Chain A
């Protein structure tokens, strides 16, 4: 359905809610105002905080804005909007590198995150993407904990024409990972996508388990996993930072997949993550369709946000 549409319009559509939340509100408080005063800054702060930008990044953004306004002697409130956009662009940086796929196949991508962020769905959508690029994909069902998680992944395998390696419920996820990479090598697979069980970042044992999964794959294929994608739910608040921190400590996250961005009035957490952690957001989820997982382009994101 959305395949024909341009990326920008699709993004704009998906972010309609976010835009209403952020840009419209900023615009709302700028229009009809005669001067740039403390009151304006305070309201701007409120808008940003409500978009889950977080206390630290909000203060940074607003301070940066004040500085610019002072330096450039800006008087017109309408001029604040482009300045804010620039400040945000500075935080978001340039386009993140695409998926790092190994020169020697198979490339291994590990998908991690807390419970309920959409790991299995994102894995399925990623498979869809890679399949559309003509890659041979194998899904590893290393979520052996959640009831019927492997079934859910099997549905995706069927939909996308990917292969799947799965064990019984309660099996050792590291064993699934091992079998997945072995099978991938034997069958000439291009990309292995390993779906792991959701776990709270505070559970030491479960994080150890994840480290083991990573170790096992690294031993089988040098350089694996080539990507460790942390799936974050865009409706999550400031805890997202903590999740990113602890998962990175455990398994060296290389990129973030931000899901459910279509449903939230807040894209703000993207800013907080980039600002405080500097881990690139590689994909964003904008809807339920298989095509709705999109590479994250900061420029387009801001464009869509402020258009």
Chain B
């Protein structure tokens, strides 16, 4: 369905092939694709408009037109501008000169405030801080219970309306901060009720709470799947309450997360954290360049490498890299990789991170399918002899039949695996070349470097 930006641009360029140089009109056509890609990623229409105008200014300049690889240049400019727009460096949480530091989480219903509170508390606890959670959502049934259960899970105290002896959120928040002082906790994290940005009374309540507890950070929690309205939401919360930063949640789904860009553009506040899973430890710092890649639907080699590093045995990885480079990658290694890969998470997700693999989209349509195919692939390879794994060329018709029987699959499945393996070898070969090229430039895969755009 959704074509990523590189794919879209490739389409344009296929039509332009044969032209030596891009004209201004060509660039405009390319930018139309940029515009559509951003809109499909739910970046706000107005933000897109301003953004494309800015990119165009740079793109029609010498930089792109004179380049020998104009498409790469366009993508590069877009990527750089996106990264810049989302705020270069990573933004940290404010700390109070005199504890406790008070952090307030606000947002629409269902954006994930309560979960984000617990995640943030755990994140800070791991840094040696001692947070107190305050349950000031008195509206949603059982919201207080939810925070209390989460508090128990991460072993942190929760200040509840019952303890505060009040059902007034402002009182509860004020009491929570006093409580934190009494307990010598250095951080207070206040969970507020979800509310619509157009609900005047509820927005006033937040403003009153802010005035009562003087938070050092007011974080707006935004669902990564939010559509065009993200802009209005951010604007309203900024105007009526005032925010210092953003937590972007549910980034573990397949939403492009264009909302990140919209929010950043209208509120002018940095995204400080992203939620990437349901567990309380699934909170990560925000990386603008990676988000830019994601919004554009481009591979995210950096994240992939980091994930791989977390799971892969370093020594093994070195060996593998050698093999990849020398193109000695065998089915045995493939099996080994399959097993390691399974530990890294859903395959579909990962394959999306590899630039250029977008072309094999039909094969990686959804993670579930991929996961099944992985299991099947493992079974098939397990039914091969060591010799067959090392030298797949010897696998003839009768061996194929035997392998299929042994793995409980069909001969077609065996054929398919061998074909896929061949393709995989080609991709890895490309990756090897990319890695080499990138290393020559700077350390590792330089973000924004040409290594990410294999056209």
Contacts A147-B150, A148-B142 given; indicate if A114 touches B227 (C-beta within 8 A): no
Name the segment of A65-73, A188-196, A238-246 touching the other chain.
Answer: A238-246
Please report which residues of chain B, range 213-236, place their CB below 8 angstroms from some CB of chain A when the two chains form the complex. 223, 225-230, 232-233
One of A201, A204, A236 near B223 (C-beta < 8 A): A236
A118 at the interface (CB under 8 A from B): yes
In whole angstroms, what is the CA distance A237 to B252 when docked?
Answer: 16
In whole angstroms, what is the CA distance A242 to B227 when docked?
Answer: 13
What secondary structure prevails in chain B residues at the interface with A? loop
B368 and A118 contacting across the interface, CB-CB below 8 Å: no
Q: How far is the CB of A62 from chain B (nearest CB, A)?
A: 14
One of A116, A147, A235, A242 near B112 (C-beta < 8 A): A116
B79 at the interface (CB under 8 A from A): no
B346 at the interface (CB under 8 A from A): yes
In whole angstroms, what is the CA distance A169 to B152 when docked?
Answer: 13
A17 and B198 contacting across the interface, CB-CB below 8 Å: yes
Name the segment of B57-65, B103-111, B177-185 touching the other chain.
Answer: B103-111
CB-CB < 8 A to B39: which residues of A?
49, 55
In whole angstroms, what is the CA distance A148 to B196 when docked?
Answer: 23
A13 at the interface (CB under 8 A from B): no
Residue of A nearest to B223 (CB): A116
B349 at the interface (CB under 8 A from A): yes
In whole angstroms, what is the CA distance A17 to B153 when docked?
Answer: 40
A265 and B232 contacting across the interface, CB-CB below 8 Å: yes
B141 and A147 contacting across the interface, CB-CB below 8 Å: no
One of A52, A117, A208, A266 near B110 (C-beta < 8 A): A117
One of B46, B108, B252, B256 near A235 (C-beta < 8 A): B108
B227 and A238 contacting across the interface, CB-CB below 8 Å: yes
B145 and A116 contacting across the interface, CB-CB below 8 Å: no
CB-CB < 8 A to A240: which residues of B?
225, 227
B225 and A207 contacting across the interface, CB-CB below 8 Å: no
B253 and A201 contacting across the interface, CB-CB below 8 Å: yes
In whole angstroms, what is the CA distance A197 to B35 when docked?
Answer: 36
Residue of B nearest to A51 (CB): B228
CB-CB < 8 A to A50: which residues of B?
44-46, 228
Size of the chain A interface, CB-CB below 8 angstroms: 50
Contacts A50-B44, A155-B141, A263-B196 given; indicate if A146 touches B146 (C-beta within 8 A): yes
CB-CB < 8 A to B371: which residues of A?
204
CB-CB < 8 A to B197: which residues of A?
263
Residue of A nearest to B368 (CB): A204
0/1 string, A39-72, CB within 8 A of B gives 1: 0000000100111101100000000000000000
Q: How far is the CB of A247 from chain B (nearest CB, A)?
A: 12
A115 at the interface (CB under 8 A from B): yes
CB-CB < 8 A to B45: which residues of A?
46, 49-50
B141 and A169 contacting across the interface, CB-CB below 8 Å: no
A sample of 19 cross-chain residue pairs with beta-carbon separation below 8 angstroms, ordered by A number, consists of: A147-B148, A148-B146, A151-B141, A152-B143, A152-B146, A156-B141, A202-B253, A202-B366, A204-B346, A204-B371, A207-B368, A233-B110, A235-B223, A235-B226, A236-B223, A237-B230, A240-B227, A242-B255, A249-B366
User: Which chain A residues have a beta carbon within 8 Å of chain B's beta carbons?
Assistant: 17, 46, 49-52, 54-55, 114-118, 145-149, 151-152, 154-156, 169, 200-204, 207-208, 233, 235-242, 246, 249, 260, 262-266, 268-269
Which 10 pairs of residues, A with B, have the shortest CB-CB distance? Answer: A237-B227, A116-B110, A237-B42, A147-B149, A148-B145, A155-B141, A263-B196, A151-B142, A152-B142, A148-B146
